[in-house]
């Protein structure tokens, strides 16, 4: 089959379908934090339940995203993409009508499963459907338009929460998903990996999910009656996952990739840095609403400088990494992010946005833009060409797992529980401690890069 050429109606339809699909997951990722306080008040949710509203999504997404990619390669990327989009829409409907916090948590887990089917397919469809000479341009358009989706999320979410209902941040996904499915069926050709094995690593996916669930439960419920049981199950499942992946023909995670020092170090750095990133976004939006008196729209728009830095400067960060090598951007990017995090300590009672919030988020965004593209390039360069898709998926899953574990552990670590997120005095003190911990994590990530990432990364195939 001849691939699609850039500039044709088919090419525009493919990019539109892939962008709208990935935009669904990006939009949800940026608006839910904005809605947490409102959801908590409406559903009388505890802090632990708010954590699970966030973590339920990341749990299923992080543990199943590699399986979703494998299903697309074997069964057809468009088919799995469409199934994931429909699944995501139905789960969004359940989120939008959820009568209790418990139902919303279950719906968010289901949303994550849909996202795990949908997310890998959005890029894989472009990779499989375009001519080789046009793929870079198509991927660039997909990435840029996806960045716009992420930037619009806080604005759209804030408007819906303040002027309609928090439920509409989920219900708006239904018409968007319908358009996505129509575009995919109308314009996207079916592609699959003819070299892929017919068998799926279902035991690996199940053990990965059980491990993350057990560890997350233990961190969230630290000190509770089920903490040690959950931790034991999580650790046992993690050990079982390693054993299964070593023995399975065609594993979900080829453990041999981690014998490369650079690949392992880049993923370790990803885990630490994205743990800090997830925790910062969770705490900051609640801080602005609980302590600083911002409404949902104001809290959502507050994070816009970070998104704009990524949108306009991430490509320049990638170019810098190509020119000078990844070590310096991957070291100083997290260090700059740590400086921005400490500036966010200014976001207290009666915070003035331009003085107390925007500077910290801008500095943080500059560091993030400096780091992201060199990190991705390093992960891909450290893996053989035939498994770069798997390597990218592993790094994506590690990033989401880092956020998941940080949001689970940090509130309890800084002394928050129950309804403390509604008490400005209690939350403000805990917020300051959390920001300092996040800054330390970011510095640690920078140090990992400095001591383990080489100036130049040679591919294993070179």
C-alpha distances out from residue 62 to 68, 309, 363, 417, Å:
10, 25, 28, 25
Q: Print pLDDT tens along the chain (462 aa).
A: 567 778 788 888 888 898 888 888 877 777 888 899 999 999 999 998 999 999 899 899 888 888 888 888 888 889 999 999 999 999 999 999 999 999 999 999 999 999 999 888 787 788 778 887 777 677 767 766 776 676 677 778 888 888 889 999 999 999 999 999 999 999 888 887 766 656 678 888 889 889 988 898 888 876 666 788 888 999 999 999 999 989 888 788 888 889 999 999 999 999 999 999 999 999 999 999 999 999 988 988 898 898 888 878 887 888 888 889 899 999 999 999 999 999 999 999 989 999 999 999 999 999 998 998 889 888 878 888 667 667 877 888 898 889 989 998 999 899 988 888 889 999 999 999 999 999 999 999 999 999 999 987 665 554
Selection from 84, 67, 73 nearest residue 200 by Cα: 67
> So what's the pLDDT on residue 283?
94
Q: 173 with 22: CB under 8 angstroms?
A: no
Q: 3-class secondary structure for 28-76?
A: HHHHHHHHHHHHHHHHCCCHHHHHHHHHHHHHHHHHHHHHHHHHHHHHC
CB of 154 closer than 8 Å to CB of 34:
yes
Give dist(CA 382, CA 192) in Å, integer.
25
Give yes or no for a contact between 320 and 329, defined as CB atoms under 8 angstroms apart: yes
pTM equals 0.85
Rounded to whole angstroms, the Cα distance separating 95 from 156 reads: 17
CA distances from 257 to 238, 252, 263, 264, 385 (A): 17, 12, 7, 8, 12
In sequence order, what DSSP letters do the residues of 191-243 get, joined into one string? Answer: ---TTS-S---HHHHHHHHHHHHHHHHHHHTTTSTTHHHHHHHHHHHHHHHHH
């Amino acid at each position: 089959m001849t691939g699609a050429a850039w500039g044709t109606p088919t090419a525009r339809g493919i990019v539109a379908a892939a962008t709208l699909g990935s935009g669904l997951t990006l939009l949800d990722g940026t608006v839910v934090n904005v809605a947490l306080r409102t959801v908590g008040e409406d559903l009388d949710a505890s802090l632990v339940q708010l954590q699970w509203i966030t973590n339920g999504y990341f749990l299923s997404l992080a543990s199943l995203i590699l399986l979703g990619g494998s299903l697309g390669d074997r069964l057809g990327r468009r088919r799995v993409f469409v199934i994931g989009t429909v699944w995501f829409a139905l789960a969004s409907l359940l989120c939008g009508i959820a009568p209790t916090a418990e139902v919303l948590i279950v719906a968010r887990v289901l949303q994550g499963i849909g996202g795990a089917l949908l997310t890998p397919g959005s890029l894989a469809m472009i990779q499989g459907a375009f001519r080789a000479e046009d793929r870079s341009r198509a991927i660039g358009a997909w990435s840029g338009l996806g960045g716009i989706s992420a930037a619009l999320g806080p604005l759209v979410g804030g408007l819906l929460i303040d002027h309609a209902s928090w439920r509409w941040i989920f219900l708006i996904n239904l018409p968007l998903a319908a358009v996505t499915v129509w575009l995919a069926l109308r314009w996207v050709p079916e592609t699959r990996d003819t070299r892929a094995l017919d068998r799926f690593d279902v035991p690996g996916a199940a053990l990965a999910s059980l491990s993350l669930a057990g560890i997350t439960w233990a961190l969230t419920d630290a000190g509770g009656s089920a903490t040690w049981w959950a931790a034991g199950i999580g650790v046992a499942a993690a050990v079982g996952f390693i054993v299964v992946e070593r023995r399975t023909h065609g594993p979900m995670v080829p453990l041999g990739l981690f014998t490369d020092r650079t690949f392992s170090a880049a993923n370790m750095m990803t885990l630490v840095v994205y743990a800090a990133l997830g925790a910062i976004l969770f705490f900051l939006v609640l801080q602005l609403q609980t302590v600083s008196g911002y409404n949902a729209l104001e809290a959502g728009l507050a994070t816009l400088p970070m998104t704009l830095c990524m949108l306009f400067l991430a490509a320049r960060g990638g170019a810098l990494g190509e020119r000078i090598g990844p070590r310096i951007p991957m070291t100083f990017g997290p260090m700059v992010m740590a400086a921005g995090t400490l500036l966010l300590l200014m976001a207290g009672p009666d915070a003035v946005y331009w003085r107390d919030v925007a500077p910290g988020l801008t500095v943080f965004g500059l560091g993030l833009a400096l780091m992201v593209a060199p990190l991705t390039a390093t992960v891909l360069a450290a893996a053989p060409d035939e498994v770069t898709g798997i390597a990218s998926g592993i790094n994506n899953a590690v990033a989401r797992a880092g956020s998941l574990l940080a949001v689970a552990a940090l509130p309890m670590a800084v002394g928050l529980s129950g309804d403390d997120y509604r008490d400005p005095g209690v939350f403000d003190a805990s917020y300051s401690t959390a920001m300092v911990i996040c800054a330390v994590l970011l510095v640690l990530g920078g140090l990992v890069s400095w001591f383990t990432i080489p100036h130049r990364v040679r591919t294993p195939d070179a």
